[in-house]
């Protein structure tokens, strides 16, 4: 069997609100509660993001989703409908622009707990690279 990421925990201030917003933006199902103290977002058949309320400081994380062109258009439309500011770079200024430098389209946003959320249509992380080592 290949190695697949099954689930990840996303620390947030309000698990229900954060899960509901991401599920709306990605147009995927979610639940107010799931296994344990989480609000799960069912990103696809193999990946669940479990939103967990954090009390105190937590590190800001980066989450990226590769989607098709039609899904990208829908996600961007929902980001705009919610009035969420977005940008073309991971940490740059809010420019309300789409990045097209890697052969596809990319946008980034930081709602609601400052995590960096990204959607792209072509993976720049999976481009052929020199020096990639096998895990074996």
Range of the domain at 102: 61-126
Which ranges constitute the DSSP H helices of 8-96? 15-26, 69-81
Say if residue 49 is in the same domain as residue 71: no
For 66-114, write each residue's pLDDT tens digit.
999 999 999 999 999 999 999 999 999 999 999 999 999 999 999 889 9
How far is residue 86's CA from residue 22's CA, in Å, rounded to a whole number?
Answer: 14
| Percent of all residues in the chain with a pLDDT value above 70, rounded to a whole number | 93
Cβ proximity of 24 and 75 under 8 Å: no
121 lies in the same domain as 71 = yes
Answer whether residue 10 shows pLDDT above 90: yes
| Residue finishing a domain among 34, 54, 74 | 54
Contacts of 10 (CB under 8 A, 6+ apart): 18, 49, 50, 51, 52, 61, 63, 115
- CATH number of the domain enclosing 117: 3.10.180.10
Assign 3-class secondary structure to 81-116.
Answer: HCCCCCECCCCCCCCCCCECCCCCCEEEECCCCCCE
Residues 65 and 97 grouped into a single domain:
yes
Q: How many domains does the chain have?
A: 2
Within this chain, do residues 28 and 4 fall inside the same structural domain, yes or no? Answer: yes
SS3 for 70? helix
pTM of structure: 0.90
| 102 shares a domain with 50 | no
Determine the average pLDDT of the residues in 52-65. 95
């Amino acid at each position: 069997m290949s190695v697949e990421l099954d689930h990840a925990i996303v620390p947030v201030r309000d698990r229900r609100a954060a899960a509901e917003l991401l599920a709306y933006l990605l147009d995927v199902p979610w639940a107010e509660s799931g296994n344990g103290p989480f609000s799960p977002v069912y990103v696809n058949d193999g990946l669940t993001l479990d939103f967990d309320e954090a009390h105190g400081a937590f590190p800001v994380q980066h989450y990226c989703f590769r989607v098709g062109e039609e899904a990208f258009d829908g996600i961007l439309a929902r980001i705009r409908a919610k009035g969420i500011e977005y940008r073309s770079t991971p940490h740059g200024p809010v420019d309300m622009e789409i990045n097209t430098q890697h052969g596809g389209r990319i946008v980034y946003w930081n709602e609601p707990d400052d995590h960096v959320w990204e959607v792209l249509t072509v993976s720049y992380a999976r481009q052929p690279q020199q020096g990639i080592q096998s895990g074996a």
